[in-house]
């Protein structure tokens, strides 16, 4: 049986832990050569060693780090087939308790980083003959999430950028596809940590919008499909992994 991403070169941002690690591990298992990037060098190196990937330290909010990654890829001289923009941070704040500094910090990591990834690496992917960009968005991009105001806004920006990139690539005929994935709650350390520090009422309100915590491996399976040639005609799509939460929030 042939592997679904055999010999494809993939970059997974935020791959040191959580869903990023699950995605990287799934791609490696299906034959891809995976570069994990993460701001946490210890987690990134540990994961890379454990799953058979390589590690590149990166702060995704910094353009200089994206340019350094592109230079690293150019030295490898293998092109780039798959870009998974997964790195993100999560914090809870409603429209009144959110601060400008908090808003800007979250936007840099969760939205601007995705733009930087596309802006820096799209031409390389096109020159390689095409490929797949998958941007990790969220169910919060598609519905109101008052307890996660900045997070939801950033993920909505990711969705909009995904659509614009997909149409651009189609019109350019460069062979690159771009899709976004929209999970609801994922059973990761980051989600459990934020739930632990939320105020009780805010936590209760947030949990009403999460029918169950999805396991990272379930999301990774969707990412594998979008990264592989199985999804050649899927471009610009928003793939929800949310057990109907987006179309029928459980608190309604």
Q: Cite the active site residues.
A: 151
For tokens 């594998």, the residue is: 224
The answer to whether 185 and 191 are in contact (CB under 8 A) is yes
Q: 189 — phi, psi (to 5°)? A: -60, -40
Rounded to 10°, the helix 113-127/149-172 angle is 20
**Burial (CB count <10 Å: 0-12, 13-18, 19+), residue 94:** middle
Taking alpha carbons only, the member of 21, 55, 59 closest to residue 36 is: 55
Q: Token digits for 73? A: 């890829």
- Angle among Cα 225, 183, 163 to the nearest 5 degrees reads 70
- Calpha distance 139→152 (Å, rounded): 8
DSSP code of residue 186: B
- Calpha distance 223→32 (Å, rounded): 13
From residue 203, how far is each of 92, 105, 192, 209 by CA, in Å?
Answer: 9, 22, 11, 10
């Amino acid at each position: 049986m042939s592997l679904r991403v055999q010999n494809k070169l993939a970059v997974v941002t935020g791959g040191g832990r959580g869903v990023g690690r699950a995605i990287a591990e799934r791609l490696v298992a299906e034959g891809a050569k995976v570069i994990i990037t993460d701001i946490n060098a210890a987690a990134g190196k540990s994961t890379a060693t454990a799953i058979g990937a390589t590690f590149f330290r990166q702060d995704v909010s910094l353009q200089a780090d994206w340019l350094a990654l592109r230079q690293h890829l150019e030295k490898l001289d293998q092109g780039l087939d798959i870009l998974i923009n997964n790195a993100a941070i999560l914090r809870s704040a409603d429209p009144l308790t959110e601060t400008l500094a908090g808003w800007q910090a979250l936007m840099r990591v969760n939205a601007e980083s995705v733009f930087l990834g596309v802006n820096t690496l799209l031409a390389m992917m096109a020159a390689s003959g095409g490929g797949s960009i998958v941007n990790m968005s969220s169910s919060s991009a598609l519905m109101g999430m008052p307890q996660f105001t900045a997070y939801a806004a950033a993920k909505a920006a990711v969705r909009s950028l995904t659509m614009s990139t997909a149409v651009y690539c189609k019109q350019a005929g460069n062979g690159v596809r771009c899709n976004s994935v929209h999970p609801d709650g994922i059973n990761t350390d980051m989600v459990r940590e934020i739930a632990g520090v939320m105020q009780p009422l805010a936590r209760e309100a947030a949990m009403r919008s999460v029918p169950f915590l999805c396991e990272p491996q379930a999301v990774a399976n969707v990412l594998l499909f979008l990264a592989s040639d199985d999804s050649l005609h899927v471009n610009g799509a928003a793939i929800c992994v949310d057990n109907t939460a987006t179309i029928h929030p459980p608190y309604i």
